[in-house]
Each structure stands twice: as structure tokens, then as C-alpha cells.
Structure 1
């Protein structure tokens, strides 16, 4: 997992060279990294380190700042929960100098609180609340202008929910699962089948296959201490103990 995060198998050699070397701080390469970001938006690929390199360049070169790029980076990082990608991006934004004046309004100040709230709901596994906020009028601008362009965004959010369910459940009611995935009816059945899970039509219960996270197994730890070892411990304690000072 860590290897895929630091060096995704889909990363092109040119981007690998930029991200791994000193060229990541060369402002003339920002357009290459931005094009790679939009490739990620269109292809469902994700490369956190390459996107962080863009934010670092914006930090050092405020004149390069592009709010649409920043918002798209945050959208991609949003679906990496529970991993800390979103917070890593935010930390670079907090240190970014104020951008130069522009004729066009900056959409980031308006959308950043919404993105942060959506991330918090995902991180807390409050999936029904996430979908309620995401479908609300307050997030209309984000949906209509950004996430609609991000191929597979909603499925990526569902994958976050699936990871949480796999870690916590061996079985779950289909209605409850549907609120986590924002799916119902035939769409939910098709998604469950795609996951390889089993839906009992009579009880409406979805069985989650066993995995290391949802299996409760007791672990017995046994330590054998030989008498010779115990003798050394007692002797060492006796040598290091403080002398008793008689009362006056």
C-alpha cells in the first residue's frame, strides 16, 4: 500500500523523474504536472505526490496559483480517506501566500469549507450524512462544476464506505448498506454482486466475506523465563537498590 502511494504503477516515467528529483521545484514544469492532474481526473487514476508537488510550486510561486487546479486536487484527495492525503494538501494551502489580485473571483474560499466538511464526514464514517450534504443545494456549485468532471468520483466515495464496512462487519442489512453507498433496489443488488458479497433475498442481509479486519481471533502470548534469568534480575535489583538511611 505504501509503495503504491509513493509510486503508483500508472505514473508515467516523465512524472516519476519530476516527482523524484529536484525538478519538482522548477516552476517551468507546473504545466506538465497540471496536465497530469487532469489526466487523473479523466482516467480515475490518482497520484498524491505529484499533486502535492503542484501545491508546493504554488506555495513558492504565488503567480502560478490556479484555484480550479487546487479544488480538483482536493477532490481527488477526498476519496483517499482514511489516509491523510486531504490533510497533507490542506497543510500546504495554509502556508500559501495570498494570490495576486485577479479579475475573476477565487472559488476556493467558498468551496474549501464544504470540501473540509465532506472530508470530515468521510473520515468519521458518517456516510449517510456525507451523501445528504453532497446532494444538497449547498454543494450544487461543487457538483455542477467540479465533481461532475471527475470520472468515477461517486464510486470512489463508495469504495471508502466499502473499506469501512469490510473492516467492521461480517454481515449488514441491505437497507443500512444502501444508505452508506447511496444506492437502492437493483443498483444496490448489482453493486453487491460486483463486490462478490452475498445478499439473502429473504432476510435482506448482506454477508461480508471474512478478512483479517472483521475476524475476531484471540491471541495468546506466552513467555518462558528460566530461573537463571530471574536470578540475574533479582541480583541486579539488589545491587542498584538505594541504601537505607537510618532515622536520626
Structure 2
């Protein structure tokens, strides 16, 4: 997992050289990294370090600032929750960057609080609330101008919910899982694609066992030798 985060197998040699070497701080390379970001949006790939390199270049060179690029980076980072990618991206933003003069109205100050809210809901595993907020009228601009261009965005969010369900449940009702995934008619097919089984009479979904969803009693035994016990008693008396 860590190795794929540091160097995704889909990263090209050109991007690898930019991200790993001193050229990552060369502002002349920002267009290459931005093109790579839009490649990620079109293909569903993800490269956090390359996207962080863009934000670092913006931080050092405010004239490069592009709010649309930042919004897309943050949206991609949402899909990795509960990993710290979203907060890592936020750490490279500051008021000086957001207040950079632009020829057109800057969408970032409006959309950034909305993205923070969505991230908070995902991090707290409040998946039904996430879908309600995401599909609300207030986030119409986010959907119409950004996430609609990101291939597989909603399925990537569902993958976040599935990771949480796998580590928590051995059985879950169809209604509950459907609310987590914002699926109804397609839920049965989606569940089957995961290799999970569903009882047609009760609509209860059974998850395969894994190290995280199995409850096992743990017995802890401590061994104290006589010389150690003698020291403890002597210390207590004193």
C-alpha cells in the first residue's frame, strides 16, 4: 500500500523523474503535472505525490495559481479517505494563495468549505449524510462543473464506504448498505460483484471473514519472577 502511494504503477517515467528529483520545484514543469492530473481525472488513476507537487509549485509561485486544478486535486483526495491525502493537500494551501488576484471570480473560497464538509462526513463514516450533502442544491456547482468530469468519482466514494463496512460488519441489511452506497435497484448486482452473498428471503448481506471483522478473545498472561516480586513488595513497604 505504501509503495503504491509513493510510486503508483501507472506513473510514467517522465512524471517519476519530476516527482523524485529537484525538477519538482521547477515552475516550468507545472503544465506537465497539470496535464497528468487531468489524465488522472479521465482514467480514474491517482497519484497523490504528483498532485502535491503541483500545490507546492503554486505555494512557491503564486502567479501559477489555478483554482480549478486545486479543486480537482482535493476531489481526487476525497476518494482516499480515511488516508490523510486530503489534509496533506490542505496543508499546502494558505490565504495568500487563495487571495491571488484573478481575471475571473475564484470558485475555491466557495467550494473549499463544501469539500471540507464532505471530507468530514466521509472520515466519520456518515455515508448517508455524505450523499445527501453531495446531491444537495448547494453543491450543484461542484457536481456540474467538477465531479461530472471525474471518471468513476461516485464509485470511488462507494469504495470508501465498502472499506469501512468490510472492517466493521459480518452481516448488514440491504437497506443499510444501500444508504451507505446510495444504491437501490443496482445494489444486488453491486453486492455480487464484491463476492458477497445476499439472502433473498431476508435481504441480509453476508460478508466474507477478514482479520478486521472477526471478534476474537485475547488472553494476556504476565510472567513475574520471584526476584522481581520481592523488589515490588520491598518497594511497597518503603
- Shorter-chain TM-score category? over 0.9
**Which secondary structure does the structure 1 equivalent of 2:77 belong to?**
helix
1:212 and 2:207 correspond: no
Counterparts of 1:216 and 1:94, CA distance in 2: 44
Report the counterpart of residue 107 of structure 2 in structure 1: 107
Structure 1: 5+ residue runs without aligned partners? none
Report the counterpart of residue 180 of structure 1 in structure 2: 180
Instruction: Give 1:43 deviation, angstroms.
Output: 0.7
**Which secondary structure does the structure 1 equivalent of 2:71 belong to?**
helix
Counterparts of 1:14 and 1:201, CA distance in 2: 51
Say which one has the larger Rg. 1
Once the two structures are superposed, the pairs formed by residues 24-173 of structure 1 within 5 Å of their partners are: 24-94=24-94, 96-173=96-173
CA contact (8 A) 2:98 2:108 kept: no
Counterparts of 1:65 and 1:59, CA distance in 2: 8
Shift >4 Å, 4+ stretches:
none
* CA shift digits 1:48-103 (9 cap, x unpaired): 11100000000000000111100000010011100111111111112653554222
1:234 and 2:235 correspond: no
CA contact (8 A) 1:161 1:180 kept: yes
Report the counterpart of residue 189 of structure 2 in structure 1: 190
Counterparts of 2:148 and 2:98, CA distance in 1: 28
Instruction: Give 1:218 deviation, angstroms.
Output: 1.5
* TM-score, L = length of structure 2: 0.94
Report the counterpart of residue 200 of structure 1 in structure 2: 199
* TM-score, L = length of structure 1: 0.90
Counterparts of 2:42 and 2:119, CA distance in 1: 21
CA contact (8 A) 1:59 1:95 kept: no
Instruction: Give 1:8 deviation, angstroms.
Output: 1.2
Structure 2: 5+ residue runs without aligned partners? none
CA contact (8 A) 1:79 1:156 kept: yes
**Which secondary structure does the structure 2 equivalent of 1:148 belong to?**
helix
Computed over aligned residues only, the root mean square deviation of the Cα atoms, in angstroms, reads 1.8
